[in-house]
Every structure is written in structure tokens, then in C-alpha cells.
């Protein structure tokens, strides 16, 4: 797939600045008419300096890439370095053949150095273009030292022979008294086109790799393009545009040198300096080899020890050959004591599982067991076991990986429970709506029965006389059979059922995010009614058999809160208290004390039970997510942690637990809600 040509703004801005700086002197020369023809002697000094600088840079690039290749194996740098050997040699010929210099084999003239210039510029532009598609790790056979050197020297020799000995076979590039020929100008445009294509190729490489060193090449190509444009418009080999073109060339070569030097010399030599510092003090090749082996061993050991899972290496007889740091932490057995012992002795709880997977390992296939449930320290924990056979030649054995997936499993269970509770909540709300209709009919029917047997209605008396009895006789019969009490019971039960349905519907609605003043006493009463009618086949308590003592202070202010959330907290505390008192002895009947009082800037809710209480270790962890002391299927360990989050985060309050004196006689949960919440009337997160 073709990479996008989009890049962050910084490289684009940098290249735009380079382009602007290159265009500025060119534009000033044209606009301000700064064109002049310089004297031959001063210009030759400048020209020789610029060309010899270019030659030195070219040879430096060659030496850098050529002699660092055996270590770097960078074929892109090798290609450019050999190309710059040819470029440097041809630039040297160009300088020696310049007009005004002593004869270079044959007499010098204005056309001769121009021919050398076109040859070296075409060659360099073609090499730049080709290098854009050569990767540092390319495997092509012709990208070797001997092939590249042969091509470079052969090209240089052909250029030298053709221009020096057979100039009449080549098109003229400069004619004395006339100036640049069409061949020269068209050649420069061709060179500019090649440089532009090379620029596009390197730009795509920059997009693909993000290597900042490529910016040196892109900037150099821009400068070289302006250099060639200057050599299109010059009129004399000694004029301003000719000098400007050479200046552009010097800058372009310097940028390319910087790119190759940084890539091939500075970075490798920095690494080499670090390596030399590390190797300092080593005596002899044997010590050096031992240090490298020790480093590799420590590196591999660090990788293994950094794994969050238990990693154990086993030989075919299931004897431990590797024991990572996590295994030491979990088992408390040091690596030195573990290696060489059977894995069944070190991990006895996993021994049956490892034995069960032995057959798969014999077939050189990986084996796995997921979500193994184990009890450790009174807590349920889940583990995944993976046994991988070693697949290296002439090596037998296996690697055992044991991962603690307790948290992940609990989260999955929590998600399942959440989905289940959402479904049950929706079902309960729907059932409540459906029950409301027959409940209304029952209530209305009970009221009608009560009206039809009343002696106060004339229609009832007339119907009784028509049937041959009086209303007094009917009333005596109804009283004797307790019919009025039954009718009253139907009305009371219907009203109670209606209140239950209202509470269920209200509790099933999503809580809002706005704190509104509310009376905590009303919320506690609604929570009590919900708790009394909670239906759970697995629970071992009857909430209606629990004595509830209310100790509410008089004239308590309202508190800014989300009623549904605080009702959820209260309901969770009541249900936990009721479950804790499920095993109370007969001489200690279950009792819950609800207290409401004001404490400075808080309104305090206390829920106290007379159950068995909690040990200090459990009390410290009671608000942790997934921590539970209940049997599997009874609780998820999220009720108190969610309640704690609601109180402390959503309402900026406090939630604590403490034992009831004497020890073993219950627990006291306290919820403190601020009377002047900073988020009052706003939204809370």
C-alpha cells in the first residue's frame, strides 16, 4: 500500500524555510540587478576554494561510508559513498580544467569545465535518484564494494577520456562570445528534474520511516536544484550567477555530508564509545567473552524475571531447570533451592494439572487449562496454566506458565452479573407495571364488597328485604364469619403491594446526576421497606423477623444527595447486616439499630447489627473491590466497594466500619454526608 504523503508540520515548515532561504539570494540578484562579471583571478580563487571544498567533502563521504560498511552493513550509505568518490574525482577534473587554470592534459577553455560540470551533475542527480530506493538492509548482489567501485571508476574514466580526448564527439555546452548552448540549458533542466524525483523519493521514505536524518538530504536536494537553476542563467563562467551556483553547491554538499556523517560516523562512534567504556578494564579476549556471556545471561534472566506470570523451565523428567522471580515471590522458594527439584514438590497444588497435560507435551503440542479455581488464604483465586514444549533442535523439555487471572475473571463475572441485574431490573419493572392492573381491580373489588354489605346504603337494604332477610341479620352473619376483617385485610394487603411496586419502580430507574436536598429518614424507611420485601431463594434470613430500632434525632436538616444512590447504599448495608445475623444463636435474636444524628458539618447515618462482627484483617479490606467472605454465588464482593465509591466520590462524604463492643457482638457502619456539599445543585462525577 502506498504510504500517505502527510507529515507533521515541523518537517514541512523546515523545508519551506530552506526553500525560501535558497530563493532569496537568487531573487535579490535578479530583482536588484546585481549581475556582474568578476575578474578572472579573484574568481579562480573562489572557484578553486569552492570546488576543492566539494572534493574534500565528497572524499570524506566516500571514506566514511566505505570504511564503516563492514560494521554498519548499510548499503544505502555504501552506494552514496562510492558515488561521491566518482563525484569528487570528476569535480576535481572540473576544477583543473576551468578557464584560467593551467592546461589539464589538453588546453582549457570555457566549454571543457562546463562539460565536466554537466557530467558530474547528471551522474550525481542519477545517483541521488537511485539511492532513494535503496534500503540500508538491501540484499542485492551488485550493491557490494567491488561492483560499486568498478562502476564508479569506470564512469570516471569514461568521462575523463570523452571530455579530454574526444570533445568534438560531445555537444558543446558553452560557446565563447555566445554563452550557454541549448544543450547545456536542457541538460540543467534534466538535472533539476532528476533532483526533484530524488526529492520525492526521499520524502516518501521520510513519511514511511520518520528518520529525521532524511531532512538533510531533502534540504540538500532543494539547494542543489537552485544551484542548477543558477547555472542555467549565467552568461560567463566568471559572473555572479556562476559564483552563486557554486555557493549553492557547497551548501548542498555540506548538508549531504552532515546526513551521512551523522548516520554513519557520529551515531556508530557514540555507540562504540559506550562499548569501549563498558569494556574498559577487561583483560584479554577470554574475559571479554565471559563478560558478553554473562551480560546475555542476565539480559535473558531479566526478561524472564520481568514477566508477571510464573515461568518454570522443565526437563523431560519434570525437573526444574528455570525458576523466575515471580515464582520466587508466589512460592517463597529461592531459585537456587528450586532448580534441580521436581516441579510437583515446588508447586504441589498444580501437580495434578501438570500431570494431566503431560500427554500433550509428549506429542510436542502446547497444552492449556484455564480458570483453575483454588483457595488460598481463605480467598478464591483463578489461574491459567500453559505448558509449551521446547521446539529447538536437540533440546527437550517444556516451559510452564502460570498466570493469576483472578482480577480478570472477577471483572468478567462482574460484567455477567451486571448484565443479569440489568435484565432482572427491567423484568421487575415490567412485572410491576403488569401487576398494577390486577392489583387495582382487587383493590376496587374489595372496596365494592365493603360498600355492598354496608347497611347505610338504601339499595343494600332493599336488596336484602327482597331476598327475605334484613341487613341486621346479614351484618350478624358477616361479623360471626369475620368477613369485614377479611375485606380489610385485602385492602391493607393491596395498599402494601402498591407501595412495594412504587418502590420497585422508583429503585429500578437510573439515578440522576444532580444533588437535591432530601430527608435521610425517608430514604431509610424506603430502604427498610425494600429490604423487607427483597426476594432471594439463596438467602438464609427473613428480614421481617429482624427487630429494627430507630434512633433518629429530631429536626434534622435535609442533605444534598442523589436519593437513589443513597438508597442503594442503605439497602446494601441492611442486607449485609441481615445476612451477617443469619447464624445468630437463639438467645441473641437479630437486631438492627438505625441512627440519624448531626455531627458538625455532616449528617451521620449508622447501621449497627448484633451479628458475629468482623476480624481486624477483614475490616481493613471490607471496602476493596471483589473482596467477599460469602460463599460462591452469594456475593460478588462489589456491594460495599460500590457503596464506598458512591459516598466518598459522588457525595464527597466518609464511610467507615468499626466493631461493636465487646468483640464478636456485631459491626457498626457509619456514613457521613456533608450538609453543605460543594456540588450542591450541580453535577457530580
Q: For residue 359, is pLDDT > 90? A: no
Please list, residue by residue across 608-642, b when 16 or more beta carbons sit within 10 angstroms of its beta carbon and e when fewer do.
bbbbbbbeeeeeeebbebbbbeeeeeebbbbbbbb
Instruction: State the chain's maximal CA–CA distance in angstroms.
Output: 155
- Predicted pLDDT at 206: 85
* Per-residue H/E/C for 138-198: CCCCCCCHHHHHHHHHHHHHHHHHHHHHCHHHCCCCEECCCEECHHHHHHHHHHHHHHHHH
Report residue 241's pLDDT band, with 50, 70 and 90 as the boundaries. confident
Q: For residue 156, is pLDDT > 90? A: yes
d(CA 424, CA 504): 12
User: Which cell numbers hold the place of 145?
Assistant: 564494494
- Answering whether pTM is above 0.75, one says no
Q: For residue 9, is pLDDT > 90? A: no
Q: Among 14-18, 453-457, 484-488, where is mean pLDDT lowest?
A: 453-457
Highest mean pLDDT among 173-182, 430-439, 560-569: 560-569
Q: Provide the 3-class DSSP secondary structure of residue 643.
A: helix
**In terms of pLDDT, which residue wins out, 565 or 493?**
565
User: Which cell numbers hold the place of 673?
Assistant: 454526608
Asked if residues 670 and 595 have their Cβ atoms less than 8 Å apart, the reply is no
d(CA 368, CA 401): 9
**In terms of pLDDT, which residue wins out, 46 or 518?**
518
Asked if residues 82 and 282 have their Cβ atoms less than 8 Å apart, the reply is no
The CA–CA distances, whole Å, from 160 to 106, 154, 174, 184 equal 11, 10, 18, 18
Mean pLDDT of 100-107: 86
Report residue 635's pLDDT band, with 50, 70 and 90 as the boundaries. low
Model confidence over 386-420: pLDDT tens digits? 777 876 655 677 788 787 777 777 666 666 555 55
Residues forming a β-bridge with 413: none
d(CA 71, CA 668): 73
Report residue 680's pLDDT band, with 50, 70 and 90 as the boundaries. very low
Q: For residue 339, is pLDDT > 50? A: yes
Q: For residue 123, is pLDDT > 90? A: yes
Contacts of 356 (CB under 8 A, 6+ apart): 369
d(CA 627, CA 640): 9
**In terms of pLDDT, which residue wins out, 429 or 662?**
662
Asked if residues 567 and 511 have their Cβ atoms less than 8 Å apart, the reply is no
Report residue 310's pLDDT band, with 50, 70 and 90 as the boundaries. confident
**In terms of pLDDT, which residue wins out, 8 or 645?**
645
Q: For residue 21, is pLDDT > 50? A: yes
Q: For residue 497, with 0-12 CB atoms within 10 Å meaning exposed, 13-18 middle and 19 or more buried, which class applies? A: middle
d(CA 110, CA 389): 77
Strand-strand pairing, 179-180 and 516-518: unpaired
Percent of the chain residues topping a pLDDT of 90: 9
The CA–CA distances, whole Å, from 78 to 65, 136, 150, 217, 684 equal 5, 9, 13, 15, 64
Sign of CA pseudo-dihedral 630, 634, 636, 638? negative
User: Which cell numbers hold the place of 453?
Assistant: 354489605
Q: For residue 552, is pLDDT > 80? A: yes
Highest mean pLDDT among 200-214, 310-324, 547-561, 651-665: 547-561
d(CA 683, CA 591): 37
Q: What is the mean pLDDT of the chain?
A: 78
Model confidence over 67-88: pLDDT tens digits? 878 877 888 888 988 998 999 8
- What 638-642 contacts at long range (C-beta under 8 Å, 24+ apart), as own/partner pairs, is 638/414, 638/417, 639/572, 639/575, 639/576, 640/572, 640/576, 642/568, 642/572
Number of helical H runs and strand E runs in the chain: 23, 14
User: Would you list the DSSP string of 78-144?
Assistant: HHHHHHHHHHHHHHHHHHHTSTTSPPBSB---SHHHHHHHHHHHHHHHHHHHHHTT--TT---TTSS
Mean pLDDT of 418-444: 65
Mean pLDDT of 197-216: 86
* Per-residue H/E/C for 397-453: CEEEEEEECHHHHHHHHHHHHHHHHHHHHHHHHHHHHHHHHHHHHHHHHHHHHHHHC
Residue whose C-alpha is closest to residue 383's, from 375, 392, 374, 391: 374
User: Which cell numbers hold the place of 227?
Assistant: 544551484
The CA-based angle 300-301-306, given to 5 degrees, is: 100
H/E stretch holding 390: none
The CA-based angle 636-642-645, given to 5 degrees, is: 155
Asked if residues 207 and 7 have their Cβ atoms less than 8 Å apart, the reply is yes
Model confidence over 586-609: pLDDT tens digits? 788 888 999 999 988 899 999 998
- Predicted pLDDT at 7: 46
* Per-residue H/E/C for 234-283: CCCCCEHHHHHHHHHHHHHHHHHHHHHHHHHHHHHHHHHHHHHHHHCCCC
- Predicted pLDDT at 501: 67
Q: For residue 681, is pLDDT > 50? A: no
- Predicted pLDDT at 307: 73
Q: For residue 89, is pLDDT > 90? A: yes
Q: For residue 137, is pLDDT > 50? A: yes
- The span from the first CA to the last CA of the chain, in angstroms, equals 45
Asked if residues 57 and 112 have their Cβ atoms less than 8 Å apart, the reply is no
- Predicted pLDDT at 252: 81
- Predicted pLDDT at 151: 93
Q: For residue 682, is pLDDT > 50? A: no
Report residue 134's pLDDT band, with 50, 70 and 90 as the boundaries. confident
Strand-strand pairing, 310-314 and 320-323: antiparallel
Report residue 546's pLDDT band, with 50, 70 and 90 as the boundaries. confident
Q: Rg of the chain over CA atoms, in angstroms?
A: 46
Strand-strand pairing, 320-323 and 367-376: unpaired
Cell 455477567, residue located: 416
Q: For residue 511, is pLDDT > 60? A: no
Residue whose C-alpha is closest to residue 644's, from 635, 636, 633, 653: 653
Q: Provide the 3-class DSSP secondary structure of residue 594.
A: strand
Mean pLDDT of 464-484: 81
Report residue 427's pLDDT band, with 50, 70 and 90 as the boundaries. low
- Predicted pLDDT at 670: 92
E runs forming strands in 336-393: 367-376, 379-389
The CA-based angle 413-419-421, given to 5 degrees, is: 100
- Predicted pLDDT at 620: 77
Amino acid at each position: 500500500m502506498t504510504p500517505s504523503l502527510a507529515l507533521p508540520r515541523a518537517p514541512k515548515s523546515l523545508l519551506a524555510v530552506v526553500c525560501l532561504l535558497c530563493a532569496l539570494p537568487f531573487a535579490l540578484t535578479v530583482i536588484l540587478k546585481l549581475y556582474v562579471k568578476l575578474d578572472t583571478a579573484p574568481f579562480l580563487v573562489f572557484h578553486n576554494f569552492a570546488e576543492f571544498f566539494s572534493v574534500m567533502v565528497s572524499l570524506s563521504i566516500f571514506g566514511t561510508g566505505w570504511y564503516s560498511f563492514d560494521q554498519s552493513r548499510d548499503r544505502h550509505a555504501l552506494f552514496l559513498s562510492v558515488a561521491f568518490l566518482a563525484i569528487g574525482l570528476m569535480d576535481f577534473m572540473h576544477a583543473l580544467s576551468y578557464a584560467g587554470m593551467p592546461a589539464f592534459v589538453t588546453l582549457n577553455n570555457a566549454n571543457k569545465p562546463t562539460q565536466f560540470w554537466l557530467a558530474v551533475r547528471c551522474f550525481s542527480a542519477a545517483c541521488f535518484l537511485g539511492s532513494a530506493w535503496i534500503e540500508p538492509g538491501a540484499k542485492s548482489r551488485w550493491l557490494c564494494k567491488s561492483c560499486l567501485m568498478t562502476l564508479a571508476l569506470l564512469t570516471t574514466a569514461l568521462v575523463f577520456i570523452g571530455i579530454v580526448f574526444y570533445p568534438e564527439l560531445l555537444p558543446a555546452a558553452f560557446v565563447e562570445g555566445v554563452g550557454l548552448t541549448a544543450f547545456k540549458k536542457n541538460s540543467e533542466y534534466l538535472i533539476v528534474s532528476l533532483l526533484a524525483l530524488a526529492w520525492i523519493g526521499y520524502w516518501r521514505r521520510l513519511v514511511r520511516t520518520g528518520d529525521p536524518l532524511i531532512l538533510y538530504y531533502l534540504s540538500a536536494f532543494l539547494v542543489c536544484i537552485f544551484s542548477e537553476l543558477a547555472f542555467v542563467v549565467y552568461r560567463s563562467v566568471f559572473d555572479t550567477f556562476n559564483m552563486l551556483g557554486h555557493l549553492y553547491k557547497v551548501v548542498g554538499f555540506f548538508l549531504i555530508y552532515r546526513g551521512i556523517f551523522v548516520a554513519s560516523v557520529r551515531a556508530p562512534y557514540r555507540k562504540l564509545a559506550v562499548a569501549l567504556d563498558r569494556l574498559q578494564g577487561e583483560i584479554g579476549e577470554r574475559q571479554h567473552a565471559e563478560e558478553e556471556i554473562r551480560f546475555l545471561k542476565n539480559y535473558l534472566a531479566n526478561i524472564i524475571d520481568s514477566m508477571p506470570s510464573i515461568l518454570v523451565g522443565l526437563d523431560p523428567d519434570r525437573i526444574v531447570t528455570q525458576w523466575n522471580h515471580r515464582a520466587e515471590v508466589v512460592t517463597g522458594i529461592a531459585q537456587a533451592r528450586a532448580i534441580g527439584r521436581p516441579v510437583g514438590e515446588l508447586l504441589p497444588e498444580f501437580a495434578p494439572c501438570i500431570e494431566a497435560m503431560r500427554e500433550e507435551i509428549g506429542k510436542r503440542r502446547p497444552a492449556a487449562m484455564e480458570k483453575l479455581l483454588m483457595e488460598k488464604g481463605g480467598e478464591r483465586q483463578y489461574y491459567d496454566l500453559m505448558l509449551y514444549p521446547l521446539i529447538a533442535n536437540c533440546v527437550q523439555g517444556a516451559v510452564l506458565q502460570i498466570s493469576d487471572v483472578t482480577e480478570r475473571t472477577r471483572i468478567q463475572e462482574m460484567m455477567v452479573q451486571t448484565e443479569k441485574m440489568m435484565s432482572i431490573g427491567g423484568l421487575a419493572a415490567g412485572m410491576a407495571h403488569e401487576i398494577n392492573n390486577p392489583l387495582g381491580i382487587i383493590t376496587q373489588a374489595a372496596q365494592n364488597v365493603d360498600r355492598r354489605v354496608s347497611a347505610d346504603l338504601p339499595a343494600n337494604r332493599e336488596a336484602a328485604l327482597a331476598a327475605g332477610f334484613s341487613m341486621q341479620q346479614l351484618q350478624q352473619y358477616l361479623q360471626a364469619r369475620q368477613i369485614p376483617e377479611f375485606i380489610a385485610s385485602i385492602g391493607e394487603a393491596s395498599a402494601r403491594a402498591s407501595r412495594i411496586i412504587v418502590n420497585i419502580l422508583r429503585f429500578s430507574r437510573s439515578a440522576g446526576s444532580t444533588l437535591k436536598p432530601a430527608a435521610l429518614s425517608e430514604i431509610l424507611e424506603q430502604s427498610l421497606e425494600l429490604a423487607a420485601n427483597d426476594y432471594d431463594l439463596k438467602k438464609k434470613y427473613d428480614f421481617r423477623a429482624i427487630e429494627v430500632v430507630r434512633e433518629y434525632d429530631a429536626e434534622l436538616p435535609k442533605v444534598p444527595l442523589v436519593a437513589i444512590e443513597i438508597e442503594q447504599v442503605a439497602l446494601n448495608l441492611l442486607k449485609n447486616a441481615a445476612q451477617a445475623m443469619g447464624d445468630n444463636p437463639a438467645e441473641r435474636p437479630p437486631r438492627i439499630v438505625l441512627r440519624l444524628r448531626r455531627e458538625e458539618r455532616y449528617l451521620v447515618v449508622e447501621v449497627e447489627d448484633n451479628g458475629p462482627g468482623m476480624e481486624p484483617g477483614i475490616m481493613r479490606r471490607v471496602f476493596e473491590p471483589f473482596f467477599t467472605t460469602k460463599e460462591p454465588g452469594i456475593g460478588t464482593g462489589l456491594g460495599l466497594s460500590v457503596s464506598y465509591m458512591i459516598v466518598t466520590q459522588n457525595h464527597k462524604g466518609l464511610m467507615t466500619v468499626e466493631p461493636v463492643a465487646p468483640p464478636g457482638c456485631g459491626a457498626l457502619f457509619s456514613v457521613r454526608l456533608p450538609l453543605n456539599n460543594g456540588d450542591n445543585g450541580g453535577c457530580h462525577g
